[in-house]
Amino acid sequence: MTTEGDRYRWLVVGLALFAFVRVGLCAASFPFFGHLDEVAHVDTVFKYARGQWPEKGQDRFDDETVELFVLQNSPLFLQPIEGDDTRLLVDRLTPEQREIHLASQLEQFRGFPNHESLETAPYYVCASAWLHVARALGLEGLHALYFVRTLGGLVLACAVIAGYLFVRRLLPDRPFLWFGVPMLLAVYPQDALYFINNDVPLVALFPICAWLALRLRDGESSVPAHVMTGAALAIALIAKATDITICLACFVTLLPVLRSRRSFLLLAVSFLVPMVAWHGYYLVATGHLTPSTHKTDLLGVTVNTWAGIAAHPMWSPSGLAGYFADLHANFWRGEIRWLGEPMRHGIVDWLLLGSTLLFACASLGACLRRRRDALPNHAFFGIWVAVAVGFAMMVGFSVGWEFGENTYPSRDFPFLTSGRLQSGMFALVALLYLDGLERLTRRFGPKAPWIALALVLATLLISESILMSPVVANPHNLWHLDV
């Protein structure tokens, strides 16, 4: 006999499976190598796969990476194919020409440093393990790398399940939010999930950490529960410095728990041990406390002067408003270009921006008026603290650095609009978004919020389908690889 709880669980599992398949299909449709430094991340995965962890002086590109990049790299991200020959370089050269060309490129790239090679371990450990699975299945070359890309689908599937557990525990009497947040996560069109890069795990880390924190707040007192929560927060912060927003939101949730000396000590130890161990190892092995020093040194990025900060175009009303709009669009959609054009529909971006502001204000108003069904105080403060700090961090990165000769961000465009860096907050934003949507639409009947949600989901899926259609048809993706 199937119970109501069983039906709920199967629905969430179905959403997770849909998320995995959707991301997997998109990942398989893009050729290698994505223009957002995917080749650098692939090289770092290869290094971790053979047991090479971050170490000073070990930041050069591997020959394996260079060979794949030189012969298999598709130009379609940043420019269209010219002429009728759509083949990659590997298919246009004779074996003799290929050998000569590869030897010259290896010589050129052999001393070239990889600015991602000393990045922190969490993503690359998982991706290298996934690469070993691919090789155990007999996959090599690009086929193995396409398999590694599916890790993004697995991460989003985990985010869907964790999002359901988190929201149901937080708001046990709001079934619309139980399922609305996982549904929005399942169609989240953040294109960073379709490539090999260390921003992939961010979307799943908050719902996992938040669910663990809520279990402690609700009375779970076991040592393993404390250790898992502290360790999860440490892993999130090690994975990406921008995940400080996740830690702040969970810290607000955990405030009542931290009043207990036992809980405080257990959480502090389980958080600090992995943090100190990782950063201690990293300092000894690389000479840096964090990867950002290595990266900024290689890229020629320096700390901005006070005069440069004061004169930054961010401080004009149009500069700040334009920055927020661009950051918001990239937070939802991503930054991938196809044939040199951004993969986005302007009207959809503006609809998402307007609806996000409207629904967030509706949710905020309910909390300020202390409505009975408003978000709990700890969730309300945690969400808004995380959003404010996350936006302030992105502004700080933009104005605090002088970007030298880089193409993005650059002296001409000194704005870091990579919303994927804050994708860990998507579950938070989805909660605000849907809380406000339900408040503004339920006056039209009990089915109105579900109809409005269906329209949002359909808009995102239709937009993505249209944008992906030329990508699916391109001759350089998995569907056109020789088996």
Q: What pLDDT sits at residue 89? A: 61
In this prediction, the residues of the chain whose per-residue pLDDT falls under 70 are 1-6, 81-93, 482-483
How far apart (Å, rounded) are the C-alpha atoms in residues 149 and 18?
16
- For the chain, the domain total comes to 1
Long-range contacts from 225-228, C-beta under 8 angstroms, 24+ separation: 226/263, 226/266, 226/267, 226/270, 227/266, 227/270, 228/270
Q: What pLDDT sits at residue 14? A: 94
Residue 264 neighbours by CB distance under 10 Å: 14
State the maximum Cα–Cα separation within the chain, in Å, rounded to a whole number.
Answer: 75
Which of 424, 472, 476, 480 is closest to 29 using CA atoms? 472
How far apart (Å, rounded) are the C-alpha atoms in residues 326 and 395?
12
Residue 11 neighbours by CB distance under 10 Å: 15
Q: What pLDDT sits at residue 1? A: 43
Q: Which tokens sit at 429? A: 């934003």
Residue 186 neighbours by CB distance under 10 Å: 25
How far apart (Å, rounded) are the C-alpha atoms in residues 149 and 34?
11
How far apart (Å, rounded) are the C-alpha atoms in residues 52 and 143?
23
Residue 347 and residue 420 in contact, taking contact as beta carbons nearer than 8 Å: no
Q: What pLDDT sits at residue 82? A: 67
Q: Could you tell me the pTM of the whole model? A: 0.91
Residue 204 and residue 151 in contact, taking contact as beta carbons nearer than 8 Å: no
Q: What pLDDT sits at residue 411? A: 83
413: alpha, beta or left? (left if phi > 0; alpha if psi -120 to 50): beta
- Per the structure, the complete domain to which residue 89 belongs is given by 4-480
Which of 118, 456, 130 is closest to 290 using CA atoms? 118
Q: What pLDDT sits at residue 72? A: 81
Q: What pLDDT sits at residue 459? A: 96
How far apart (Å, rounded) are the C-alpha atoms in residues 367 and 382?
13
Residues 6 or more apart in contact with residue 97 via CB below 8 angstroms: none
Residues 6 or more apart in contact with residue 265 via CB below 8 angstroms: none
